[in-house]
Amino acid sequence: MKISIDGLHKAFESRIRLGIMSALAVNDTLDFSSLKDYLNVTDGNLASHLKALEKEKFVAVTKSFIDRKPNTRYTMTKQGRKAFEEHLAALENLIKSQK
Amino acid sequence: MKRKEEDYMQDLREIRSIMERSTKFLSLSGISGVLAGLYALAGAYLAFNIFDDTEALVYGIPSGENVWDLLLIGTVVLLLAVSTAVAFSVNKARRKGERVWNPAAKRMLANMAVPLVAGGLLALVFLAKGLIMLMAPVTLIFYGIGLYNASKFTYEDVKYLGFIQMVLGLFGAFFTEYSLLFWAFGFGVMHIIYGIYVNYKYER
């Protein structure tokens, strides 16, 4: 896993990815359009960031159909939660140490 | 890429804001609260005129015609209050560039609706059994439970509003001759105070 010296995850350097993880940390599951709503990003942008998180195995995807329309739901994995919490702790430490 | 303290702070702020926005329904409008209070006061005034002597409210079973009048007043007040709240919330969400019908809104409504439906049905049971004097308190108590329950998913202050409604309902159930007054205070005056408070605290 890519972690820089200060304990920050490379995967969370992008604020959009950090935003996705924040929303998933407090919601069991969210669909694509809800995520898009909270983050104010375009479809393509959000999809590529989600794909990256999926590749890291931080986010799990379930696809289904509701009224014959495809519905994609995202969940945070155990691994993702651990990484996110570590990242938060690292952020706090950095702020404290710079004071 | 070298990042500075300000970036980290901004990261944390963003995390906090997204967590809050994605779990709490914050598009409730204070003005719709004030309007709901005014509808309730008007409804209570009309109901008062049906029972012009309090004796009827305590012991009496109103005639068939009065029962329908009461139900009509209740339904109109409820419909007006709900549609006003929906219209103002849709408007507020749109101004913030958010969808109103998001997962947080669904969770808040579900938590609110379950006690409300149970309370509404119980009020109808009381009506059928001729326990008219308990109808107003029971709607207050169950509305309070609904608010208390839903407060986790919206402004936290809603919890205190719920608590006050429950207390008023219990008093109304004990002092039945004043139950309609307690109802008017809870649904009318408290909504107006709460609406002004929300408007002042979050919408200025």
pLDDT bracket for residue B1 (50, 70, 90): very low
Domain assignment of residue B5, yes or no: no
pLDDT, residue A1, reads 54
Structure-token pair, residue B52: 């012009």
Candidates B173, B172, B169, B116; CA nearest to B147 is: B116
pLDDT, residue B173, reads 94
| Whether the predicted pLDDT of B58 surpasses 60 | no
Candidates A61, A90, A54, A85; CA nearest to A75 is: A61
The model's pLDDT over B184-202, given as tens digits with 9 standing for 90+, comes to 999 999 999 999 999 999 8
Q: Which residue has the higher pLDDT, B67 or A81?
A: A81
Q: Is A46 on the interface with B (CB under 8 A)?
A: no
Q: Where are the alpha helices (DSSP H) in A1-99?
A: 15-26, 32-39, 43-55, 78-98
Candidates B204, B165, B202, B146; CA nearest to B20 is: B202
Candidates A37, A35, A14; CA nearest to A26 is: A35
Task: Give the count of domains, chain B.
Answer: 1
Domain assignment of residue B14, yes or no: no
Return averaged pLDDT per consecutive 10 residues of chain A, 99 residues in all. 69 89 92 88 92 93 88 93 91 80
* B8 to A30: CB separation less than 8 angstroms, yes or no: no
Candidates A30, A55, A53; CA nearest to B19 is: A30
Domain map of chain A by residue range? Answer: 10-91
* From B11, B97, B98, residue closest to A91, measured CB to CB: B11
Cβ density class A63-96: b for 16+ within 10 Å, e for less: eeeeeeeeeebbebbeebeebbebbbebbeebee
CB contacts of A92 in chain B (<8 Å) are 12
Domain assignment of residue B116, yes or no: yes
**B52: containing domain:** 27-202
CB contacts of A7 in chain B (<8 Å) are none
* B14 to A18: CB separation less than 8 angstroms, yes or no: yes
The model's pLDDT over B132-155, given as tens digits with 9 standing for 90+, comes to 889 999 999 999 999 999 999 999
| Whether the predicted pLDDT of B62 surpasses 70 | no
Q: Spell out the CATH class of A10-91.
A: mainly alpha
* B22 to A92: CB separation less than 8 angstroms, yes or no: no
CB contacts of B97 in chain A (<8 Å) are 40
Report percent pLDDT > 70 for chain B. 91
**Substitution target from B5, B11, B102 for chain A, most A beta carbons within 10 A:** B11
- For B71, other C-beta atoms within 10 Å of its C-beta total 12
pLDDT, residue B204, reads 79
Domain assignment of residue B21, yes or no: no
Average pLDDT over residues B31-48: 94
